[in-house]
Structure 1
Amino acid sequence: MEAAMNQAVGSVYVLESMKLARDRTWEAVGQIRERIEPGMLESQARAECTRLLTQLGMDRIWHPVLVRFGENTLKTFKQPSAGDPRLKEDDIYFVDLGVVWNRHEGDAGATFVVGDDVDMKACADAAKTVFAEVEQHWRSSGAGGKALYDFAEERASALGWRLNLDIKGHRVSDFPHAIYKAGDLGDFADCPDAGLWILEIQLAHPTRPFGAFYEDLLV
Structure 2
Amino acid sequence: MTATLSCGHRCEILQTDLRYSCESGLTQVDQHTFSGWRQRCSIWNANKEGVEGFGQAEVYYCCCAGEHRGAISGLKGKSVMSAGNAATEEDQRASYLRDAQNKAICLFDEIERDLIRPGVSEQGLSDQIHALAAERYGVTAHWHKRVIRSGPHTLMPYVENPPDRIVEADDILFVDLGPVFEAWEADFGRTFVLGGDPVKHRLRDALEPVFLAAKSHFQSNPDITGEAFYDIACELAKQAGWEFGGRIAGHLVGSFPHETIPNDRITLYITRGNLDAMSRLNPLGQKRHWILEIHLVDRARQIGGFYEQLLTVD
TM > 0.5: yes
Partner of 1:51: 131
1:30-77 deviation digits (Å, cap 9, x = unpaired): 211121101111111101110011011125111111111111111111
Partner of 2:235: 154
Shift of 1:127: 2.0
Give 1:1-219 correspondences, 5 Å limit: 10=63, 14-34=93-113, 35-55=115-135, 56-81=137-162, 83-142=163-222, 143-178=224-259, 183-186=268-271, 187=274, 189-192=276-279, 196-218=289-311, 219=313
- Counterpart amino acid of residue 216 in structure 1: Q
Q: TM-score, normalised to structure 1's length?
A: 0.88
5+ residue gaps in structure 2?
1-60, 65-88, 281-286
Shift of 1:188: 5.3
Q: TM-score, normalised to structure 2's length?
A: 0.62
Greater gyration radius: 2
1:157-179 deviation digits (Å, cap 9, x = unpaired): 11211102413311111112317
- Identity over aligned pairs, percent: 32
Q: Which runs of 4+ in 1 moved over 6 A?
A: none
Distance 2:166 2:186 in 1: 28
Shift of 1:109: 0.1
Whether contact under 8 Å (1:15, 1:195) holds in the other structure is no
Distance 2:279 2:203 in 1: 27
Whether contact under 8 Å (2:230, 2:248) holds in the other structure is no
- 1:31 is paired with a residue whose SS is helix
Q: Does the C-alpha gap of structure 1 residues 101 and 188 become closer, same or farther in structure 2, counting only changes over 3 Å?
A: farther
Whether contact under 8 Å (1:103, 1:174) holds in the other structure is yes
Higher share of residues assigned helix:
1
Distance 1:195 1:9 in 2: 13
Distance 2:119 2:63 in 1: 43
Partner of 2:32: none
- 1:85 is paired with a residue whose SS is coil
> Whose RCO is larger (CA < 8 A, sep 6+)?
1
Shift of 1:195: 6.6
5+ residue gaps in structure 1?
1-7
Q: Does the C-alpha gap of structure 1 residues 165 and 64 become closer, same or farther in structure 2, counting only changes over 3 Å?
A: closer
- Counterpart amino acid of residue 209 in structure 1: Q
Moved more, 124-133 or 208-217: 124-133
